[in-house]
Structure 1
Amino acid sequence: MAKNRAASTDAGSAYHHGDLKRALVSAALTLLTEKQDWDFSLREVTRVAGVSHNAPYNHFVDKRDLLAAVAAASHEMLLARMQAAATSVDARDAAGALAAIGEAYVHFGTENPARYRLMFGTALVTSENDLPPIVAESAARAKTVLRDIVLRGALDGTFAVSPADAEAMDLAVLSAWSIV
C-alpha cells in the first residue's frame, strides 16, 4: 500500500506547481511565440506546462480567459520597456522621452508580432466592444507612462497642451499613443 501511495504522489507531483497560473501563462506564451498565433488548444498548453488537462480550469474559465492573462502579461512587458525607455533620456527632455517610448513600442511589436496582435487586435474584444478587465487594466498602466511624459512636457512648455485641461490631456495621450 505504501508503494502505491508513493507512486501516486510521484505521478501527481507533475500536476502540482508552486504557481500553476504563471506556468499556464508561460506555456501559452511559449506556444504563441512558436506558432505566431493563438490557434493552440488548452490541451496543448497543459502539455507544455506539464500539468493535467483539467488544470487550467483552476484559474481560467476558458481559453479566452487564459489569452486575456497572456495579453495582460504582454502589456506588463511593454510597460517595462516603455519605462526603461523613458528613463534612458534626460529627465528634462519630454520630447526625447516620448520618442524613446515610441521606439520601444515599435521594437516590442516587431519582436513580438503575435503578442502585439493579441494585445491590440480584436480577439479579446467582447460583443459590447470591451476588453476583459485584466487586459484593460494592464493596458491602462502602460498608458500612464505616456501620460506622465505628456504631463511633463505640458508643464515645461514642450507640448502645447494645458495640464489643467483633463480632456485636452486625454487627447494628447491618445495622440501620442496613436502616432506610433
Structure 2
Amino acid sequence: MIEEKKFHHGNLKDELIGASINFVSTQKNTEISMREIANSLGVTHAAVYRHFESKNELLAAVAANGYLLLAKCLDDEFQKSKNLRPRPLLFGMLNAYIDFALENEGYYRTMFNREVMKSNDEDLAQAIAQCRLPINMVIERISQKNGFKDTLLIATLANDIWSFLHGYITLVIDGLLDDSSVPSQTPKISKQNYVNLIVNSILI
C-alpha cells in the first residue's frame, strides 16, 4: 500500500528554499525538479506549487539568498580592508568575490542562470542591488584616492569588474582553465594573475 503524504504544517516555503539550496549545492547545477524537492520533504507535488508557481520562481529564491550571502562576504571584506590603499583594497575584494564563487559553485550557477535572471523576481532584484553596494563603495573609495574625474568611467566600472570576474569564474567552474600539468593548481595560480591583471588595468 502506498503511504499518503501528510499535510505539511511547518514553514514549508522556507523549507522548500532550504531543500533547493541543498540540491544545487550538492549537484553544482540547477537541474532540479519540483517533484524531487517535494519528495525530499515528504510533501505532495501540489504543495510545492502553493508557494512557487514554477521551478524558476523557486530557483530565484535560491539565487536571491546567494546574492545576499555574497553581499555579506564582500561587505565583510570591505569593512576589514577599507582603510587600506586602493590597490590592496581592490585586490582583497576581487579575491573575496572569486573565492565565494568557487566555493559555492551551485549557488553561483543559480545566481547567473539565464532563465532565473528573467524571472523579474522583486526579492532577487533587491538582493542583486545589495550585492553591488560593496563594489560601488570600493569604486568610490578608489575614485577619491586616485582622483578619477572621468564620470563615465566611474559609472561603468562596476559592470566592467563584474563582467571580468564572471568570465574568469565561468571558465574555471566549467573546467576550461585546467590545461597545466597539475590541473588542480591551475585555478589558484590563474586567479592571482587574473586579479593582478584587473587591478593593474584599473589602477594604472
Short-chain TM bin: 0.7 to 0.9
SS of structure 2 residue aligned to 1:118: helix
Letter in 1 for 2:43: V
Residue 16 (1) aligns with residue 1 (2): no
CA contact (8 A) 1:74 1:115 kept: yes
Structure 1 alignment gaps of length 5 or more: 1-10
Say which one has the larger Rg.
1
CA contact (8 A) 1:94 1:150 kept: no
Residue 160 (1) aligns with residue 145 (2): no
Number of residue pairs the alignment of both structures matches: 160
Structure 2 alignment gaps of length 5 or more: 1-5, 166-204
Alignment correspondent of 1:28: 20
Among residues 169, 174, 180, which one is paired with 2:154 in the alignment? Answer: 169
- Separation (CA, whole Å) in 2 of partners of 1:69 and 1:161: 39
Residue 148 (1) aligns with residue 137 (2): yes
Letter in 2 for 1:169: I
Among residues 163, 168, 172, which one is paired with 1:178 in the alignment? Answer: 163
Alignment correspondent of 2:116: 124
TM-score, structure 2 as length reference = 0.69
Over the residues paired in the alignment, what is the CA RMSD in angstroms? 2.2
Among residues 36, 52, 55, which one is paired with 1:60 in the alignment? Answer: 52
| Alignment CA distance shift 1:103-1:131 (3 Å) | farther
Letter in 2 for 1:16: H
| Fraction of identical pairs, as percent | 24
TM-score, structure 1 as length reference = 0.77
